[in-house]
Structure 1
């Protein structure tokens, strides 16, 4: 017998006949008419080249071939019902799986603390892996399933094939060591450009502010370039360097080292922080739960700063 010729609906009829031993009771159990059930039984007999069920008194008794097939057919029908036909779902409380999230180091300190607090109570066995990749590799990671979600500023993912959800808008702040006497509360543009700057390029990326300044023809005196925002914790204290960073970074660094904020001599650009996922994950129950969690924890109203 060629499997392509097997109608799975017939296996449902077979399973019901094996349990009820009656065409009428089988028809009632599976919601078919009596003639349709009789026709299905005829097709089963033809496909298996066996009578399968024969009348004996008031019942249809199985043949030896039907008795042999019955346990296997039951397993197939139960598997289809339990594992294939059930709607996709995800139970956070009992789930034991790992999710990879694309984010820069700013995301690790800004987005993850609140998420981890929620996981402890709602999904204690779920693990998260924060992944940092170059800009050109982010899309490939989401498309290949190497990451389930990207959270942060990813303008390259604003294209066909991706969904996005806004979390909040933020901007840039200029910070310096609180003991940096060379940096006042405000600077002229000339003073700002001439100051000694630390510039952070996560994963070698040019940041949004770099393009903003370049478009205006303004060039800063860059003393140090870094790959990680968190290195500012060690490099700003005791130095005469300044750094213009996203507001969340200024907030996090300021919680650990004494800082002063310098009023910028221009209106900085706004950053739209979002989460992104590939379209093939749009209807995945686990991904839907994950992005819902990130949204609930990290969404902010306009002007709100990073919570404790």
Structure 2
């Protein structure tokens, strides 16, 4: 017999008949009319070339062939109902798995601590793997399943096949070492452009501020270019360098070294920090839980700063 010739719905009828030994009771159990159930039984008899169930008094007794088939059919029906047709589920309390998150180094510092505290109580066997990827590689990592979520500023993911959810907006802050005597609380545009700058471009990517200044025709005097924001912790102190960084980075760096904030001589653009996932993960229960967790922990109201 070719399995393609068998309507698997007929196995549900067979299983009900094998258990209930009655066309009427089987019809009620599967939600069909009595004529429809009788028609299905007729098709079953044709498929298996056997009467299968024969009336004996008030019951429909199984033939030897039906008795032989009944255990296997029962297993198939239970497997389809209990495993294949069950909605996808995810129980964080019992889950034992790892999730890969795309985020820059500042994301590890800003986004992960609160998430990890929540995971410790809600999902003790869930593990996170935070990685940084060049801008061009983020999309392919989400598409291939190498990463489940990207969290941060990823303008290249504003395209088809990707979902996005806003977490908060932030702007830029100009920082210098507290010991930098040449840096006051504010400076003119001319002073700002002439100052010695540290520029951080994670994975070599151009940042929103770079494009903003280029569009204005303003060019900074860049003394040092870095790939990691957290390097500012060891480089800024004891120098006359300044850095213009997202507010969260200024907050984190300020927790480790003494800083002074310098008012920017222009209105800086705002960064929209979001989380992104590929469309194939939209209905995945585990991914839903993960992005819900990141949203609950890291979402901020307008104007709110980074939590302590």
TM over 0.5: yes
CA RMSD of aligned residues (A): 1.2
**Alpha-carbon distance, 1:153 to partner:** 0.7
> Residue by residue, what CA displacement relative to the aligned partner does 1:159-196 show, whole Å, maximum 9, x if unpaired?
12221111111011011111111211111112211211
> 2:86 aligned with 1:86, yes or no?
yes
Residue 145 of structure 1 is matched in structure 2 by: 145
Residue 65 of structure 1 is matched in structure 2 by: 65
- For 1:48 and 1:92, the matched residues in 2 are separated by 45
Residue 157 of structure 1 is matched in structure 2 by: 157
Write out aligned runs for 1:171-250 (5 A): 171-250=171-250
- For 2:68 and 2:305, the matched residues in 1 are separated by 69
**Alpha-carbon distance, 1:272 to partner:** 0.8
Residue 95 of structure 1 is matched in structure 2 by: 95
- For 1:25 and 1:303, the matched residues in 2 are separated by 65
3-state secondary structure, aligned to 2:186: coil
**Alpha-carbon distance, 1:249 to partner:** 0.3
3-state secondary structure, aligned to 1:264: coil
> 2:269 aligned with 1:274, yes or no?
no
> 2:125 aligned with 1:125, yes or no?
yes
Deviates most, 273-282 or 202-211: 273-282
- For 1:192 and 1:28, the matched residues in 2 are separated by 81
Total equivalences in the alignment: 308
- For 2:266 and 2:29, the matched residues in 1 are separated by 75
Deviates most, 9-18 or 120-129: 120-129
Residue 24 of structure 2 is matched in structure 1 by: 24
Write out aligned runs for 1:41-80 (5 A): 41-80=41-80
Deviates most, 218-227 or 247-256: 218-227
- For 1:35 and 1:189, the matched residues in 2 are separated by 86
**Alpha-carbon distance, 1:78 to partner:** 0.6
- For 1:139 and 1:111, the matched residues in 2 are separated by 20
**Alpha-carbon distance, 1:146 to partner:** 1.4
- For 1:118 and 1:203, the matched residues in 2 are separated by 29
- For 2:33 and 2:264, the matched residues in 1 are separated by 79
TM-score (norm 2): 0.97
- For 2:157 and 2:29, the matched residues in 1 are separated by 51
**Alpha-carbon distance, 1:248 to partner:** 0.2
**Alpha-carbon distance, 1:273 to partner:** 0.7
- For 2:293 and 2:208, the matched residues in 1 are separated by 27
- For 1:21 and 1:253, the matched residues in 2 are separated by 75
TM-score (norm 1): 0.97
Residue 254 of structure 1 is matched in structure 2 by: 254
Residue 108 of structure 1 is matched in structure 2 by: 108
- For 1:234 and 1:40, the matched residues in 2 are separated by 77
3-state secondary structure, aligned to 2:218: coil
> Residue by residue, what CA displacement relative to the aligned partner does 1:113-163 show, whole Å, maximum 9, x if unpaired?
111111111111111111211111111111111111111111111112221
**Alpha-carbon distance, 1:56 to partner:** 3.2
**Alpha-carbon distance, 1:281 to partner:** 1.5
Deviates most, 51-60 or 208-217: 51-60
- For 2:55 and 2:264, the matched residues in 1 are separated by 92
5+ unaligned residues in a row in structure 2: which ranges?
Answer: none
